[in-house]
């Protein structure tokens, strides 16, 4: 086992372990903290893959924004945060079924359709050796891929439109109506 594999196993263990804590803990605040640790583990996996941009984006978006939003939501909606409600509901069978199906689908897609990239190395085979220049120029390449017509400009713009619509919708919902202002 190489050093890299050892680190990978450690990081994966932390990610999955904290993920388990998220769904089993009764204390919602601690569950949210564990979720942050889990996100951090995913960021560490990105670092191992030499994609610093994704790692930083993971930190900024998931820990810096989404987790904070979730903590705020918990703090504002629960009267006391150390609620003693059980985190489990009565549908373990259905959940298990869905999880297994999704996992099988992901594995099937990865195994069947993966060799889209550079050289046709299959998943679960050896790690593809990429030249260092790929990683050095990865951010400009990402930028060009997003906005060039040959790249992904259409999905990128559609996603932007969706976000813009959601933003306007949020403002419209939060806008005070005239009755509220008078009250």
Partner 1 sequence: MSFNLGDFLLSLIKFTVFDYIRSIYPDSPGVEIVLDIVGVVVVSTFCLLIVIFLIWLERKVIARMQDRIGPNRVGGKYGLLQTVADVLKLLTKEEIIPTGADKFAYNLAPFLIVITALLMWAVMPFAPGVIGVDLNVGVFYILSISSVSVVCLLLAGWGSNNKYALLGAFRSVAQLVSYEVPMILSLIAPILLARTMSTQGIIAAQKVPYMLMIPLSAIIFFVSSLAETGRTPFDLLEAESEIVAGFHVEYTGMKFGMFFLAEFVSTLFMSGLFATIYLGGWNLPIISLLMELAGGAPLNLDAIAFGRVIGLVVYFAKTFAVYFVFIWIRGTWPRFRIDQMLNFNWKFMVPLTIALVFTVAILDKVIPVGTSDLVRAGIHLASNLIVGMITMEILRRNGRRQRLAAEAQAQANRPDVAAAD
Q: Indicate whether 52 belongs to the interface with partner 1 (CB under 8 A).
A: yes
Which sign, positive or negative, has the C-alpha torsion 118, 141, 161, 67? positive
Tokens of 142: 């990402």
Gap between the Cα atoms of 13 and 128, Å rounded: 24
Q: Indicate whether 57 belongs to the interface with partner 1 (CB under 8 A).
A: yes
Neighbours of 64 (CB within 10 A): 13
Among 48-56, 96-104, 123-131, 162-170, the segment contacting partner 1 (CB under 8 A) = 48-56
Nearer to partner 1, 49 or 99 (CB): 49
Measured distance between the N- and C-terminal CA atoms of the chain, rounded to whole angstroms: 69
Q: Indicate whether 88 belongs to the interface with partner 1 (CB under 8 A).
A: no
Please identify which residue in 10, 48, 60, 106 interacts with partner 1, judged by CB under 8 A. 60
Please identify which residue in 7, 8, 19, 30 interacts with partner 1, judged by CB under 8 A. 30
Q: At what angle do helices 68-77 and 28-48 cross, to 10 degrees?
A: 170
Gap between the Cα atoms of 79 and 85, Å rounded: 13
To partner 1, the closest distance from the beta carbon of 50 in angstroms equals 11
Among 9-17, 54-62, 121-129, 155-163, the segment contacting partner 1 (CB under 8 A) = 54-62
Please identify which residue in 4, 23, 48, 64 interacts with partner 1, judged by CB under 8 A. 64
Which sign, positive or negative, has the C-alpha torsion 164, 169, 174, 180? positive
Q: Indicate whether 56 belongs to the interface with partner 1 (CB under 8 A).
A: yes
Tokens of 106: 């992901």
Gap between the Cα atoms of 121 and 113, Å rounded: 11
Q: Indicate whether 53 belongs to the interface with partner 1 (CB under 8 A).
A: yes
Applying CB under 8 A, the residues found at the interface with partner 1 are 29-30, 33, 36, 52-53, 56-57, 59-60, 63-65, 67-68, 71-72, 75, 81, 136, 138-139
């Amino acid at each position: 086992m190489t050093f890299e594999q050892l680190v990978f196993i450690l990081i994966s263990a932390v990610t999955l372990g904290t993920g388990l804590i998220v769904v089993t803990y009764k204390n919602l605040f601690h569950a949210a903290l564990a979720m942050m640790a889990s996100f951090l583990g995913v960021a560490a996996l990105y670092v191992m893959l030499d994609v610093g941009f994704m790692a930083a984006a993971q930190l900024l978006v998931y820990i810096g924004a989404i987790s904070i939003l979730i903590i705020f939501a918990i703090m504002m909606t629960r009267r006391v945060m150390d609620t003693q409600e059980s985190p489990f509901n009565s549908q373990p069978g259905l959940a298990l079924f869905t999880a297994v199906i999704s996992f099988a689908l992901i594995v099937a897609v990865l195994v069947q359709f993966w060799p889209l990239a550079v050289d046709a190395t299959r998943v679960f085979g050896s790690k593809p050796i990429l030249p260092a220049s790929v990683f050095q120029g990865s951010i400009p390449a990402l930028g060009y891929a997003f906005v060039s017509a040959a790249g992904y400009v259409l999905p990128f713009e559609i996603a932007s439109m969706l976000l813009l619509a959601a933003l306007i919708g949020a403002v419209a919902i939060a806008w005070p109506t005239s009755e509220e202002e008078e009250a």
